[in-house]
Amino acid sequence: MITVKTYYLVFAALLALTLVTAGAAFVDLGAQWNNLAALAIATIKAILVATYFMHLRHSPRLTLLFAGAGLIWLAHLLVFSFADYLTRSW
């Protein structure tokens, strides 16, 4: 069981990461590194939301299996879309 204190701590972490994302937009790291930093922070935030607010931390293995299958499906979608983009001769 997740306590209310844990919810508040995760919420505070999400707010802090949102501020870090906004602050990173003002730091010039180069276009690629700024995008990479924003995606890394967004990934951390998504993991926090899925783990605590969607209760994946204390869920049965079958639920974790379906969550993992969704991530694998998303990876396939992105990889094949990017492969199609790279093979076009525009």
Residues 39-73 pLDDT 10s: 999 999 999 999 999 999 999 999 999 999 999 99
* pTM, entire model: 0.79
Buried b (16+ CB within 10 A) or exposed e, 50-67: eebeeeeeeeeeeeeeee
Are 50 and 87 contained in the same domain?
no
DSSP letter (8 states) at residue 49: I
Are 54 and 64 contained in the same domain?
no
Cα 80 to Cα 51: distance, rounded to the nearest angstrom: 28
Are 50 and 76 contained in the same domain?
no
**Cβ–Cβ < 8 Å for 50, 67:** yes
Are 17 and 45 contained in the same domain?
yes
Identify the domain containing residue 9 by its residue range: 1-58
Total domains in the fold of the chain: 2
pLDDT tens per residue across span 6-31: 999 999 999 999 999 999 989 998 88
Are 47 and 65 contained in the same domain?
no
Q: How far is CA 42 from the centre of its chain?
A: 5
